[in-house]
């Protein structure tokens, strides 16, 4: 998740597309990991 965010310039939408997951799921994971907003 961190790598995908870094490669996407911290854009969760792009990172989610890169990982092939729904953006909500990515945001949830970011919350779990304590990264992002």
In 3D, which of 32, 36, 34, 31 has the Cα closest to residue 11?
Answer: 36
Cα 4 to Cα 29, 37, distances in angstroms: 12, 16
Number of structural domains (the chain) is 1
CA distance 37 to 21: 19
* pLDDT per residue of the chain (37 residues) written in tens, 0 to 9: 999 999 999 999 999 999 999 999 999 999 999 987 5
> Are the C-beta atoms of 1 and 31 separated by less than 8 Å?
no
Q: What confidence score (pLDDT) does residue 18 get?
A: 96
CA distance 6 to 15: 8
- What does the chain come to in residues? 37
Domain that holds residue 17: 2-33
Q: What confidence score (pLDDT) does residue 37 get?
A: 57
């Amino acid at each position: 998740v961190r790598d995908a965010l870094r490669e996407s310039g911290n854009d969760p939408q792009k990172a989610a597309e890169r990982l092939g997951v729904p953006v909500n799921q990515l945001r949830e994971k970011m919350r779990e990991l304590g990264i992002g907003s």
